[in-house]
A and B are shown apart, each in its own frame.
Chain A
């Protein structure tokens, strides 16, 4: 059973466009992380959200945690080729000892 559903699975856009990717679940998480993975490398942590309704910004990236802490979104403004990669969300439940990862969204930004 996949607890975290990410959409879309693939996204190809032109440089300068805006985009949003989603991470949805029927489970409540105590925290949720977003990672970016470039080809041939390990995932790199971008942000953690812990409070329902929380919004965090990282330059052109905006992350939001749903009010019920079951879903999250990542919005990129004016995408650049350097944003290309696999975006993964991961949710953790209190005392679970581990996180659950979604299958990711593969983003390609064309110059």
Chain B
């Protein structure tokens, strides 16, 4: 089992460019999450999906969109990247309880 995988691992964008971060899990989990982590800020929830076909906003959704493509995959899209979106992005999934399993992260720099 690969657990939670994320692509790409690193990305550099120019202001205004768009990109999609991909996440997939092979644990048959219903819930999936996208977080961003900035220095000294801990994890902040961007969007989450409690089940296939549903998505909900978290604490910091502005500037992002998500798609729960199927039970395995949950993507995060930046339509017009801004320097304030420079961060490390983590995808996570959870099953029946709230125990979350995280991917290795995507390190995004917006110049």
CB < 8 Å: which of B33, B98, B104 contacts A33?
Answer: B98
A33 contacts B42, C-beta separation under 8 Å? no
B74 part of interface (Cβ distance < 8 Å): no
What is the chain B residue whose CB lies nearest that of A41? B104
Interface size for A (C-beta < 8 A) is: 20
B105 contacts A42, C-beta separation under 8 Å? yes
- In the complex, what residues of B have CB within 8 A of residue A45's CB? 99-101
Q: How many A-B residue pairs have CB under 8 A?
A: 56
B42 contacts A44, C-beta separation under 8 Å? no
Interface size for B (C-beta < 8 A) is: 25
CB < 8 Å: which of B41, B43, B48 contacts A43?
Answer: B43
Task: Classify the interface of chain B: helix, strand, loop or mixed.
Answer: strand
Q: A42-B102, A45-B99, A92-B98 are in contact. Are A101 and B31 (CB under 8 A)?
A: no
B56 part of interface (Cβ distance < 8 Å): yes
What is the chain B residue whose CB lies nearest that of A104? B42
A90 part of interface (Cβ distance < 8 Å): yes
A42 contacts B98, C-beta separation under 8 Å? no
A103 part of interface (Cβ distance < 8 Å): yes
A41 contacts B98, C-beta separation under 8 Å? no
B50 contacts A42, C-beta separation under 8 Å? no
A111 part of interface (Cβ distance < 8 Å): no
CB < 8 Å: which of A40, A41, A97, A101 contacts B43?
Answer: A101
A42 contacts B99, C-beta separation under 8 Å? no
CB < 8 Å: which of B56, B101, B105 contacts A41?
Answer: B105
A42 contacts B58, C-beta separation under 8 Å? no
What is the chain A residue whose CB lies nearest that of B48? A98
For this complex, 21 residue pairs linking A to B, each with C-beta atoms less than 8 Å apart, are: A31-B97, A33-B98, A35-B100, A40-B105, A42-B90, A42-B92, A43-B43, A43-B100, A43-B102, A48-B98, A88-B42, A97-B48, A97-B50, A98-B33, A98-B56, A98-B98, A101-B35, A101-B42, A101-B43, A103-B42, A104-B42
